[in-house]
Chains A and B, each alone.
Chain A
Amino acid sequence: MFADNWKISLRQIKRLFVMDIFGISSLILPGIFSTLTGADGILCLTLGMAGGMVLLWLIGANLKHIKTDYYSYIKDTVGQLLGDVFMVFYFLYFVTLCGYVLNQVTMLVLTWLLPEGSWMGVCILLLLLAVYASMRGIEGRARVYEIIFWFLGIPLLIMLFLAMQEVDTACWTPIVSSGGAQFLEGTIAVLIFLLPLTALLFLKPFCQKPQQLASCGRWAMFLVIVLNALIYLILVGVFGQNTMGILKRPIITLMGMVNLPGGFFTRQDVLMTAVWFFALFALMNTGIFQGTLILKDLCQQCRGSWALWATAVLAFIIAKGFFEYNFLTEVFEIYQSHVALPGMFLILLILLSLHWAKERKPKKEGITDV
Chain B
Amino acid sequence: MQFPLARYRRLLATYLKPQRGRVLGLGCLVFLGIGLQLLNPQIMRRFLDSALAAQPLEQLTKLALLFMGIAFGQQLLALGAVYLSEQIGWTATNALRADLTAHCLHLDSSFHNHKTPGELIERIDGDVTTLANFFTQFIIQLLGNGLLLLGIIVALALEDWRVAVGLIVCVAAAISLLQKMQRVGVPLWGESRQASAELFGFLEERLAATEDIRSSGARNYVMQQLYRQMLVLYRKTRKAELATAWLYNAGQSMFIIASGLGLGIGIYLYQQQQTTIGGVYIITAYIGLLTTPLEQILRQIQEFQKASAGILRIDELRQQRPAIVDGTGPTIPQQALDLRFEQVSFGYNTDTPVLRALSFELPAHQILGVLGRTGSGKTSLIRLLLRLYDPHQGTIRLGGIDIRNTSLADLRRSIGFVSQDVQLFHASVRDNLSFFDHRIADQQLLAALETLGLTNWLNSLEHGLDTLIKPNGLSAGQAQLLAFARILLKDPRLIILDEASSRLDPASEAIVERALDRLLAGRTAIIIAHRLATLQRADAILVLDAGTIREFGPRQALLQNPQSQYSQLLQHGITEVFA
Q: Do the two chains bind?
A: no
